């Protein structure tokens, strides 16, 4: 049965007029007249891990009634006014369309002298959130009187003062490819109070003007499209471990990137041939072992030679026993393989201290790099193993050497490793690989550091035999800056290692992520807040070099993310489902930043395909329409440098993952459906057209899409070769082109609508003709480069063919049977990401048990995460990996319950753009009752469902501008009210 109460909809012209006004306001911001100049210091344009302090003093009087500051920087800024932190930025963006922030600071100014202070860090390299530019700051403070701008202003120019912030150690290592450099902060070298009025900057240098607004590479400065991020304090719950520990052996960390790839600032994967070489000097003949703490991509066997003997570490193995002779020991490590960050980490555990010193051209160095004998950038990570490199014979020849005298032949490939690229004090190694001397009792006074008061935890002085280690539990996953307040002696060292999970009392360290930083304290009471936002639940603090007591007053986080409102709700008598809903909401909140991101810990990166799920779930949880809009448009901008939308944006690599590009196209149409944002549709359509043209260019004569790219869909063992015709691409392309044809119709582009529809039909026919295996009665994963059909059949492929409406007749019925009971020989679903698509297919299939199957599967799969104490949704389901619970413990692509519980149980779905007409198709799926709220652009829709022995009670509240269609199984004897008005059965029958 259906019900349409005849509500008055918002007229289209009014909707468009409101949107147009918003556009004009945005355009007005873009036409801002910049009088400010880009400034920097007199040093390098693109320095590595460079931190600069900028200051500008100015006077203010009460005749000025308003002040607006606009600011941006390359790479990152932290803004202070009169010593108070005002914010940080900019929002991630492409360099040719750089975002700037606006601060209304009139109420913060004081009569007389004020000071703007800005801490700017320039990475000197790309990350997964940033494309390398050059160091620069631009800022302009305009004054207003009675709402009108006056001629007086403060703008960046050569009158600003600048000085390097020497407390940040420059020569540190990368956190990983997604992030910049590990923080190491020496408080004794910091100039305190430089952000405040009254500080004497007389000896500071004058800033250097490097050009006007509009210069390359920042040719277009655009106002921030979303609100400032939240910034709020979070206290931990408890100290969960306290012990005395001792470092083990000699850590070695080597960054060979500058030697192998001088001047490289991208983060493109590279496959290479090469080695590291050193001489280990041992005072005695002794046994020991080497532990390898870094891995290549994909994970492959490691090999090294010691005094001519070869050692091979198989996959998953990380240590080997060794024997050193007294004196010199020649050590060669094969570093051939695939890398994003060119770092090798090892731990040498020996009976006596050892040294690394190799003679070369009359000098001594800790290490030499040898190579690369050959290398290639790899755009398709999955095909790394298939990339062929020349000069392997040179590597094989070099591998045979056993003495330093044989090096001369290879002199053209040898470079000494600079001291700046060597570390014997790696924080990750020291905090992960250590000897536990004693577990200490956690007395009540130890818990003082988690309390929001001035009580403190006092740690006793330690002898030279050990350090104190604490593990602090925040009780749930965070995305936050970490702050510590403490009192100690000079040069006390605090090492931090942050991680997401503990299992049976053992930390699950973030392998592949140096989620660490170091604070070297000065004498007395002090506070330090990290400048890099990290994802974590647990904080391990190791206190070193303290021969007097240490007081820790507090450890807390400053959470930061997109300012969502938790409008969406879901409640039921099933506490397991309720808890799954809560961890889903917390997950997406942590993955909502200046765009949607994949996870708060490992990357904080915008992945193009992931953002489709994030957007849909965000509509139901928070109504985060602006965040989705910005995310989708940021992906579109990657078409300025690539043929198809890139897999990860904006970033220092240009990887294409076609399935992700196609999911982005689909997400654009869904955004219009959920918002009714016509201006978005008009803005995004040219990018969609360019994308469609890119895909169509790669159609074979048989009308199938083929592109050598990263053709992954799931982490499971599908057959999706880089150089094959991949089945799921064809299905997604049919769906994307069909959706785009519908958008073309809305925009009045009739010919494009017809062309897109015809192309989609041709691809669909080719898909059914070429990729169906009649013998096995299913669609195969691909056609290989040699023309042979894959022997692999996966649930993933057949789900997508069905979901994208690419199969009909008997074949459709066959796949529907597979959806009900997957065959044992099909590749099963590997991740929650594919579960989202599977549920979508089930819902499309319909039937009395579809919703119940979705709810039962969510209860089982996500419920296992809850059983393990998860506070957020994991990247993979428990059991996917052999030795770990999951990789990322907080992953946006795993938030399916946030969409399907309200969409299926409450049954709320948009029927017209912007929810001008809404469907409510409730299904309790065996529950006694359920209730919840779904945000919409017109206001919230609430649904309250209760089943009795005789009837189903459905109470609905909708905004006055919204039409509503209710569809309920008549056999349930529904009793329906909409906005308090009971709809009698005779009224419903006519609807």
Tokens representing 847 are 């039937």
- HSE-CB at 714 with a 13 A cutoff on CA atoms is 28
Give 550-567 pLDDT, tens digit per residue. Answer: 999 999 999 999 999 999
Q: What's the distance, CA 677 to chain centroid?
A: 27
Distance (Å, whole) CA 756 – CA 747 = 14
> Distances in Å between the alpha carbon of 721 and those of 327, 381, 717, 766, 833?
50, 11, 11, 19, 20
Mean pLDDT of 262-281: 95
Mean pLDDT of 712-729: 95
- pLDDT at residue 9, rounded to an integer: 28
DSSP readout, 62-106?
Answer: TT--EEEEEEEEESEEEEEETTEEEEEEPPP--GGGEEEEEEE-G
| Position 407 pLDDT exceeds 80 | yes
Would you place residue 3 in the very low, low, confident or very high pLDDT band (cuts 50, 70, 90)? Answer: very low
Tokens representing 292 are 């390898």
Give 796-832 pLDDT, tens digit per residue. Answer: 999 999 999 999 999 999 999 999 999 999 999 999 9
Mean pLDDT of 412-423: 97
Output the pTM of the full model: 0.94
Would you place residue 297 in the very low, low, confident or very high pLDDT band (cuts 50, 70, 90)? Answer: low
If residue 899 lies in a helix (H) or strand (E), which one and from where to where?
Answer: helix 896-900
Give 74-83 pLDDT, tens digit per residue. Answer: 999 999 999 9
Q: Work out the burial of residue 504: count CB atoms within 10 Å of its CB; fewer than 13 is exposed, 13-18 middle, 19 or more buried.
A: exposed
| Position 1 pLDDT exceeds 90 | no
| Position 302 pLDDT exceeds 90 | no
The β-bridge partners of 53 are: 119, 163
- pLDDT at residue 10, rounded to an integer: 28
Mean pLDDT of 883-899: 96
- pLDDT at residue 299, rounded to an integer: 63
- pLDDT at residue 73, rounded to an integer: 98
Best CA proximity match to 163, nearest among 37, 36, 38, 40: 40
| Position 112 pLDDT exceeds 90 | yes
Would you place residue 150 in the very low, low, confident or very high pLDDT band (cuts 50, 70, 90)? Answer: confident
Distance (Å, whole) CA 589 – CA 566 = 9
Mean pLDDT of 147-166: 93
Produce one character per residue of 256-283: b if its CB has 16 or more CB atoms within 10 Å, e if not: bbbbbbeebebbbbbbbbbbbbbbbbbe
- pLDDT at residue 22, rounded to an integer: 39
- pLDDT at residue 431, rounded to an integer: 97
Cβ-contact 179, 597 below 8 angstroms:
no
- Helical residues (DSSP H) of 712-794, grouped into ranges: 727-746, 750-770
Q: Work out the burial of residue 87: count CB atoms within 10 Å of its CB; fewer than 13 is exposed, 13-18 middle, 19 or more buried.
A: middle
Mean pLDDT of 875-899: 95
Distance (Å, whole) CA 849 – CA 856 = 10
- pLDDT at residue 958, rounded to an integer: 97
Would you place residue 952 in the very low, low, confident or very high pLDDT band (cuts 50, 70, 90)? Answer: very high
- pLDDT at residue 11, rounded to an integer: 30
Would you place residue 990 in the very low, low, confident or very high pLDDT band (cuts 50, 70, 90)? Answer: very low
Encode 182-236 in three state secondary structure: CEEEEHHHCCCCCCCCCCCCCCCEECEEEEECCCCCCCCEEECCCCCCCCEEECC
Distance (Å, whole) CA 175 – CA 181 = 6
- pLDDT at residue 25, rounded to an integer: 39
Q: How many CB atoms lie within 10 A of CB 104?
A: 11
Maximum Cα–Cα distance for the chain, whole Å? 100
| Position 300 pLDDT exceeds 70 | no
The β-bridge partners of 571 are: 931
How confident is the prediction for the chain on average, in pLDDT? 93
Give 753-790 pLDDT, tens digit per residue. Answer: 999 999 999 999 999 999 999 999 999 999 999 999 99
Tokens representing 780 are 């195969």
Q: Under 8 Å CB-to-CB from 334, ≥6 apart: which residues?
A: 275, 302, 303, 304, 395, 399
């Amino acid at each position: 049965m259906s019900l349409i109460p005849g509500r008055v909809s918002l007229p289209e012209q009014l909707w468009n007029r409101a949107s147009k006004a918003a556009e004009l306001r945005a355009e007005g911001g873009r036409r801002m007249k910049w009088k400010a100049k880009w400034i920097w210091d007199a040093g390098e344009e693109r320095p590595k891990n460079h931190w600069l302090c900028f200051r500008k003093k100015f006077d203010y009087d009460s005749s000025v009634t308003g002040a607006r500051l606009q600011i941006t920087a390359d790479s990152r800024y932290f803004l202070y006014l009169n010593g108070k932190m005002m914010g940080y930025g900019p929002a991630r963006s492409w360099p040719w369309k750089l975002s700037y922030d606006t601060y209304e600071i009139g109420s913060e100014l004081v009569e007389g002298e004020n000071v703007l202070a800005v801490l700017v860090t320039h990475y000197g390299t790309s990350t997964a959130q940033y494309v390398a530019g050059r160091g620069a700051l631009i800022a302009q403070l305009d004054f207003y009187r009675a709402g009108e701008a006056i001629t007086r202003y403060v703008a960046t120019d050569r009158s600003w003062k600048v000085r390097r912030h020497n407390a940040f150690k420059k020569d540190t290592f990368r956190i990983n490819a997604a992030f910049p450099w590990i923080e190491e902060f020496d408080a004794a070298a910091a100039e305190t109070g430089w952000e405040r009025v009254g500080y004497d900057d007389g000896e500071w240098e004058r800033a250097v003007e490097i050009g006007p607004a509009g210069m390359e590479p920042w040719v277009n400065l655009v106002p921030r499209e979303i609100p400032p991020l939240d910034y709020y304090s979070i206290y931990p719950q408890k100290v969960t471990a306290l012990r005395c520990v001792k470092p083990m052996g000699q850590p070695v960390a080597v960054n060979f990137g500058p030697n192998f790839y001088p001047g490289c600032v991208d983060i493109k994967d590279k496959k290479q041939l090469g080695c590291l070489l050193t001489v280990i000097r041992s005072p005695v003949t002794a046994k020991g072992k080497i532990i390898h703490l870094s891995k290549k991509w994909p994970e492959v066997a490691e090999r090294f030679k010691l005094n001519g003997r070869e050692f091979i570490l198989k996959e998953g193995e990380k240590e080997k026993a060794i024997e050193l002779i007294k004196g010199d020991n020649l050590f060669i490590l094969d570093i051939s393989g695939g890398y994003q960050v060119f770092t090798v980490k090892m731990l040498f555990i020996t009976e006596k201290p050892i040294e690394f010193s190799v003679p070369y051209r009359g000098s001594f160095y800790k290490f030499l790099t040898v190579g690369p004998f050959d290398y290639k950038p790899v755009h398709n990570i999955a095909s790394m193993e298939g990339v062929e490199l020349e000069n392997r014979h040179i590597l094989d020849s070099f591998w045979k050497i056993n003495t330093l005298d044989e090096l001369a032949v290879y002199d053209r490939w040898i470079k000494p490793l600079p001291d700046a690229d060597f570390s014997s004090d790696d924080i990750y190694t020291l905090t992960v690989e250590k000897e536990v001397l004693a577990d200490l009792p956690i007395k009540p006074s130890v818990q003082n550091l988690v309390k929001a008061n001035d009580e403190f935890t006092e740690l006793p002085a330690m002898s030279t035999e050990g350090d104190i280690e604490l593990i602090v539990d925040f009780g749930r996953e965070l995305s936050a800056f970490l702050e510590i307040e403490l009192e100690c002696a000079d040069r006390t060292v605090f090492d931090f290692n942050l991680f997401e999970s503990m299992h049976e009392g053992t930390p699950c360290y973030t392998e592949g992520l140096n989620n660490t930083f170091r604070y070297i304290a000065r004498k007395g009471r002090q506070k330090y807040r990290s400048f890099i936002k990290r994802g974590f639940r647990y904080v391990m603090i190791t206190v070193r070099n303290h021969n007097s007591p240490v007081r820790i007053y507090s450890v807390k986080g400053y959470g930061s993310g997109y300012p969502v409102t938790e409008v969406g709700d879901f409640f039921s008598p099933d506490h397991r489902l309720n808890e799954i809903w809560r961890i889903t909401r917390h997950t997406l909140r942590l993955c909502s930043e200046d765009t949607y991101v994949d996870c708060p810990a490992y990357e904080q990166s915008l992945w193009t395909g992931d953002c489709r799920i994030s957007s849909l779930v965000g509509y139901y949880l928070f109504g985060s329409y602006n965040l989705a809009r910005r995310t989708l448009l940021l992906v579109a901008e990657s078409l300025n440098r690539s043929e198809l939308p890139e897999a990860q944006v904006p970033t220092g690599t240009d990887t294409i993952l076609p399935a992700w590009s196609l999911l982005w196209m689909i997400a654009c149409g869904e955004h219009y459906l959920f918002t009714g944002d016509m201006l978005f549709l008009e803005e995004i359509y040219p990018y969609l057209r360019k994308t469609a043209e890119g895909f169509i260019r790669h159609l074979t004569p048989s009308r199938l899409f083929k592109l050598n790219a990263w053709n992954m869909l799931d982490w499971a063992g599908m057959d999706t070769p880089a150089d094959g015709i991949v089945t799921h691409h064809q299905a997604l392309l049919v769906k994307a082109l069909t959706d785009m044809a519908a958008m073309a119709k809305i925009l009045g582009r009739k010919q494009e609508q017809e062309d897109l529809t015809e192309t989609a039909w041709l691809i669909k026919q080719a898909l059914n003709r070429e990729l169906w295996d009649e013998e096995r009665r299913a669609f195969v994963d691909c056609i290989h480069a040699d023309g042979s059909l894959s022997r692999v059949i996966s649930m993933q492929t057949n789900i997508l063919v069905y979901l994208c409406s690419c199969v009909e007749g008997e074949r459709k019925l066959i796949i529907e049977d597979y959806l009900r009971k997957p065959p044992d020989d099909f590749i099963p679903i590997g991740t929650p990401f594919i579960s989202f698509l599977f549920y979508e297919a089930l819902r499309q299939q319909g039937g009395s048990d579809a919703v119940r199957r979705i709810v039962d599967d969510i209860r089982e799969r996500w419920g296992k995460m809850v059983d393990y104490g998860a506070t957020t949704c994991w990247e993979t389901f428990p059991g996917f990996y052999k030795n770990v619970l999951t990789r990322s413990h907080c992953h946006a692509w795993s938030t399916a319950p946030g969409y399907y519980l309200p969409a299926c149980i409450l049954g709320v779905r948009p029927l017209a753009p912007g929810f001008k007409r809404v469907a409510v198709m409730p299904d309790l799926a065996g529950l006694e009752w359920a209730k919840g709220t779904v945000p919409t652009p017109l206001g919230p829709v609430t649904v309250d469902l209760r089943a009795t022995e005789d009837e189903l009670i459905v109470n609905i509240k909708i905004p006055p501008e919204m039409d509503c269609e209710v569809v309920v199984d008549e056999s349930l004897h529904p009793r329906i009210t909409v906005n308090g008005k009971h709809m009698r059965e005779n009224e419903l029958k006519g609807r």
